[in-house]
Structures are given as structure tokens and as C-alpha cells.
Amino acid sequence: MTAPPKDGLFYRGKWLWMWPNWTLSLFDGGMNVSRINPTSPHHTDQHYHFFFADIAAETSESRAKSVQGTLAVVREDYAICADTHRNYAAGAYSSGPLSGRHERGVQYFQERVAAALGL
């Protein structure tokens, strides 16, 4: 998918995902790859690697800003996921149909998991 340019974003780019757990994010001046590894029903490891076209000392602040911006989004996503898991465990949330407009990617992923499990 391609992100439309918007004022205030820390970077623009393309975000690619490969089944089951690998991502590639391309942005001005660099990219990052990530692996998301579930290690148990209650734990997932995330591994990020950043690569930049310009690694000169003069651009270290810009690189750090890109990494910190990405990690801020990861932390926000983590908090949402952790809250959802707590609500499931407490019985405070019951699942329902996915939004055909906003959750197509989630539906696709869940279908792939079900197929891989033979369900």
C-alpha cells in the first residue's frame, strides 16, 4: 500500500507485508524490515532492522528521528493489542464480525491462519 502525503507525518512510503510474519517499509532515505514472531499464546517478539542510504555523522539526528517515529507507532499499536488481550481474558470483550471496509487485512490474515491450521 502507499501512504498518501500528509502534513506532519514523519515519513512517507510504502509498506509491504509477506505471509506470515515479515514486513518491509520503504521511506525517503531508507527502509526497515521486521519480523513478528509469536512465541506463545501470550507473548510475541518483534525484531526491527533499519537501513539508511546516508550513514554520515551529519545525518544521525534524521536517522534517529525515523527510528523513534516508527517505534512510537509500534508502542501505540502494542498498547491497543495488550488492552484487547486483557479484555478478552477478562471476558469484557466478545468478538464480532470484522469491518469489510476497515479490517480487510485482518480478515485476510485470519483466513490464512485458519487455512494453515487446516480449519
Q: What ranges do the domains of the chain cover?
A: 13-116
In tens, the pLDDT along 26-84 reads 988 999 999 999 888 788 899 999 999 999 999 999 999 989 988 998 899 889 988 98
The confidence score (pLDDT) of residue 6 equals: 63
Contacts of 98 (CB under 8 A, 6+ apart): 104, 106, 107, 110
Predicted structure pTM score: 0.73
Cβ–Cβ < 8 Å for 50, 34 = no
